[in-house]
Amino acid sequence: RVLAGGGGGLKYLDEEQTIVGIEMCYNCENVDLVGETAIDISFRQLDIWENIKGKWDFSFTADASALMKDTRHIALNRTFTLPNGVTVTLDEFTSNDLEQRINFSADDKDASRYDMKVIARDESGKEYPFYMNYFGGGSTRKGYMRLLGDMLPEAAGQVEMTFYVVAMPEQSGKMSNDFQQLGESFLVDFGQMPEAAE
């Protein structure tokens, strides 16, 4: 099963501002992506209203082994209790050339009733926002937040992380941006980031 979600917002890809792009993320659970993998992607429409129909086919091969080998991990192990009593644990921060993310887990699928984010602040006060990108509310109850914008440099030193939540809309479907801090901020020492696995 492949689950897809858009993230990062729309942006122009050319100086003339005639081409707009959005990043798509596909979560392929229980798929071994180590080694060379042939990937075929087909689109039959480009909007949810079916106004832009067509046929766009892409085929390529990719090898996740090198990326996985170059991924660095920092254990976070920070637990927070959502307003509905569900416990969420920020498990680890990972970093590679493709992305930076915070992996988390929850003790109940009702964690999906909240949108979550983490704001990281470096020693100069610059903010790096990690927004919730995926939460598998089934048996795994795991998810991750991805960094949007500039990547946190691995030489960032002491980084302060703060966890925020907002309730998902129950009627209107309109997302709220009224995030509230949950729990205390905590420090992560990027100077202690281990080398990537060999």
Q: What is the rounded CA–CA span in Å between residue 26 and residue 42? A: 13
- Compute and round to an integer the Cα radius of gyration of the chain: 18
Q: What is the rounded CA–CA span in Å between residue 25 and residue 47? A: 16
Residue 171 has a pLDDT of 76
pLDDT (tens, 9 = 90+) of the chain, 198 residues, equals: 566 555 556 678 899 999 888 777 676 767 787 888 888 888 888 777 888 899 999 999 988 887 788 899 999 999 999 999 999 999 999 999 888 999 999 999 999 999 999 999 999 999 999 999 888 766 778 999 999 888 998 788 899 999 999 999 887 767 888 999 999 999 999 876 666 555
Ranges of CATH 2.60.40.1640 domains, the chain: 71-192
Residue 192 has a pLDDT of 63
DSSP 38-103: EEEEEEEESSTTS-SEEEEEEEEEEEHHHHHHT-EEEEEEEEEE-TTS-EEEEEEEEE-SS-EEEE
Residue 195 has a pLDDT of 62
Q: Could you tell me the fold of the domain covering 71-192?
A: Immunoglobulin-like (2.60.40)
Full-prediction pTM beyond 0.75? yes
Q: What is the rounded CA–CA span in Å between residue 64 and residue 26? A: 14
Residue 130 has a pLDDT of 96
Residue that the structure tokens 């990043």 belong to: 23
Residue 5 has a pLDDT of 56
